[in-house]
């Protein structure tokens, strides 16, 4: 291989054990140059791309129309699949499936497939929720991933290969991926360059080929990241994890609020909506007695009224080490009524796959082992104190 220009290893790559870049982050021109450098006609690159992006090959060995010599060279230079192993758990009578992927350095990340059967006037959808980091540094206390802490950023190929995994599975049953949401483990906009590279691969007609309107990128409120997206003016949907409109409470529920205050986040999201013409989604996890009061709903109205937004209310998924529970259905309905009464489009969402740990990071957290009981006790006590202080309007 010494006479051949190596495929690019981008600076955004993390120190995964296997230094070969993933094929999913190689640009079409780069793949063509690589094939030509190996003494092959450029159409060999198109053949490899066909196997990779249309048949979702997991290994070079599957690429039967590619000469064996070139397949061996491909294996030497890239990882056709960056996911070494995947364990799938089904739920909701097969409508939801959750995958735990093992990466090249033995780290674990999760992705989820949610099937929505079609009906009168609406097409069937298959939405894939993917991870952008191993663990997460933001530390939202109701989130299983937050409990894991931060591991590392995912490489673009590791993000894209989660989607290819599900695409391969769906093709076998005659379906395809219709939507991709960056809402799994990690804060996407704290790994923004890799997320942008992954979104570009997913929406490039010569690669995965998904329409930009079928991509949603979520953030807990990384204002500079939102501004970075706005500058690109993509057709993706931006989803902001709000969870509280009162600053003192949001400091506890989304600790990033101390660095990027919610008013600035909403202003940045408004600029995104203006630049893209896309309504921004706001996600709001409903926690019993914590953020589900009429005062909270009124604060959300004050914050969002007049902006082109859609609010999704989601009952909290019970996570092992919090003292909190999901809001009662009646409480969520009342909250929704306040928002709708103020003209804010609001949907109540239902959790998918509770029996397999629908909260992102829950499977990986279980694999990582339970923390010691005194750690759990201290964590619950701290959350109770911080929650009480926040409800009284005191900031940590």
* Interface with ligand SF4, residue 136, by CB under 6 A: yes
Q: Among 70, 130, 140, 181, which residue interacts with ligand SF4 (rule: CB under 6 A)? A: 140
The piece of 102-110, 132-140, 316-324, 343-351 that touches ligand SF4 (CB under 6 A) is 132-140
């007695």: which residue's tokens? 289
Round to whole Å and give the CA distance between 252 and 236: 29
With 0-12 CB in 10 A as exposed, 13-18 as middle and 19+ as buried, what is 66? Answer: buried
Is 186 a binder of ligand SF4 (CB under 6 A)?
Answer: yes
Residue of 129, 140, 143, 360 with catalytic role: 360
185 binds ligand SF4 (CB under 6 A): yes
Cα(304)–Cα(315) distance, integer angstroms = 20
SS3 state at 156: helix
Binding-site string for ligand SF4 from residue 214 to residue 233, where x marks contact by CB under 6 A and - marks none = ------x-------------
Q: Does the annotation mark 110 as catalytic?
A: yes
Give me 81's structure tokens. Answer: 């699949």
What are the backbone angles phi and psi of residue 186, rounded to the nearest 5°? Answer: 100, 165
Q: Quick check: 146 binds ligand SF4 (CB under 6 A)?
A: yes
337 phi/psi in degrees, rounded to 5:
-65, -40
360 counts as catalytic = yes
- Given 13, 40, 110, 158, which residue is catalytic? 110
Please tell me the distance from the alpha carbon of residue 188 to that of residue 154, in angstroms, as a whole number. Answer: 10
Q: What x-and-dash track marks residues 301-340 binding ligand SF4 by CB under 6 A?
A: ----------------------------------------
Q: Please state, in angstroms and rounded to a whole number, the distance separating the CA atoms of residues 292 and 26.
A: 46
Token reading at 115: 């099937």
Least distance from ligand SF4 to the Cβ atom of residue 360, Å: 6
Q: Collapse the DSSP code of 22 into the 3-class scheme (helix H, G, I; strand E, B; otherwise coil) and give the result.
A: strand
Only segment of 28-36, 102-110, 180-188, 344-352 that touches ligand SF4 (CB under 6 A): 180-188
Q: Does 187 bind ligand SF4 (CB under 6 A)?
A: yes
Q: Rule CB under 6 A: say whether 158 interacts with ligand SF4.
A: no
Nearer to ligand SF4, 35 or 196 (CB): 196
Q: Could you say which residues in the range 343-362 bind ligand SF4, by CB under 6 A?
A: 360
Give the CA angle between residues 370, 376, 380 to the nearest 5°. Answer: 145
106 φψ region: left (φ > 0), alpha (ψ -120 to 50), beta (else): left
- The reply to whether 202 sits near ligand SF4 by the rule CB under 6 A is no
What is the token pair recorded at 179?
């939507």
**Spatial CA neighbour of 220 closest among 141, 323, 306, 329:** 141
- The smaller minimum CB distance to ligand SF4, of residues 57 and 316, is found at 316
Scanning 81-89, 185-193, 194-202, 348-356 for contacts with ligand SF4 by CB under 6 A, the matching segment is: 185-193
Q: Is 363 in the site for ligand SF4 (CB under 6 A)?
A: no
Query: How many residues does this entry show for the chain?
Result: 396
Q: Which of 145, 155, 223, 237 binds ligand SF4 (CB under 6 A)?
A: 145
- Kind of pairing between the strands at 133-135 and 215-219: unpaired
* Positions that interact with ligand SF4 (CB under 6 A): 136, 138-140, 143, 145-146, 185-187, 220, 360
Active site residues: 110, 360
């Amino acid at each position: 291989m010494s006479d051949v220009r190596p495929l690019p290893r981008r600076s955004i790559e993390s120190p995964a054990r296997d230094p070969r870049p993933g094929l999913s982050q190689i640009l079409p021109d780069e793949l063509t140059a690589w094939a030509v450098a190996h003494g092959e006609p450029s159409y060999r690159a198109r053949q490899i791309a066909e196997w990779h992006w249309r048949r979702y090959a997991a290994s070079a060995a599957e690429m039967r129309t590619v000469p064996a010599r070139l397949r061996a060279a491909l294996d030497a230079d890239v990882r056709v699949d960056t996911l070494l192993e995947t364990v799938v758990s089904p739920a909701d009578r097969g409508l939801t499936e959750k995958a735990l992927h093992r990466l090249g350095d033995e780290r674990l990340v999760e992705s989820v497939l949610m099937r929505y059967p079609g009906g009168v006037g609406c097409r069937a959808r298959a939405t894939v929720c993917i991870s952008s980091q191993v663990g997460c540094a933001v530390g939202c206390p109701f989130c299983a991933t937050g409990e894991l802490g931060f591991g590392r950023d995912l490489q673009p190929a590791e993000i894209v290969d989660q989607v290819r995994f599900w695409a391969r599975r769906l093709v076998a049953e005659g379906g395809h991926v219709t939507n991709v949401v960056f809402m799994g483990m990690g804060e996407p906009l704290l790994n923004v360059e890799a997320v942008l590279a992954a979104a570009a691969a997913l929406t490039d007609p010569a690669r995965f080929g998904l329409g930009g309107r079928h991509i949603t990128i979520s953030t807990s409120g990384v204002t500079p990241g939102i501004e970075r997206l706005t500058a690109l003016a993509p057709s993706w949907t931006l989803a902001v994890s709000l969870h509280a409109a009162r600053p003192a409470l949001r400091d506890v529920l989304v600790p990033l609020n101390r660095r990027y205050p919610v008013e600035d986040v909403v202003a940045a999201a408004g600029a995104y909506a203006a630049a893209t013409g896309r309504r921004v989604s706001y996600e709001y996890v409903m926690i019993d007695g914590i953020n589900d009061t009429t005062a909270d709903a009124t604060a959300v109205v004050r914050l969002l009224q007049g902006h082109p937004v859609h609010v999704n209310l989601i009952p909290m998924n019970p996570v092992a080490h919090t003292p909190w529970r999901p809001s009662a259905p009646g409480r969520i309905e009342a909250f929704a009524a306040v928002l709708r009464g103020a003209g804010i489009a609001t949907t109540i969402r239902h959790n998918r796959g509770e029996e397999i740990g629908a909260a992102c990071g829950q499977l990986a957290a279980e694999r990582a082992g339970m923390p010691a009981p005194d750690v759990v006790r201290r964590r619950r006590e701290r959350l109770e104190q911080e929650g009480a202080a926040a409800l009284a309007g005191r900031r940590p």
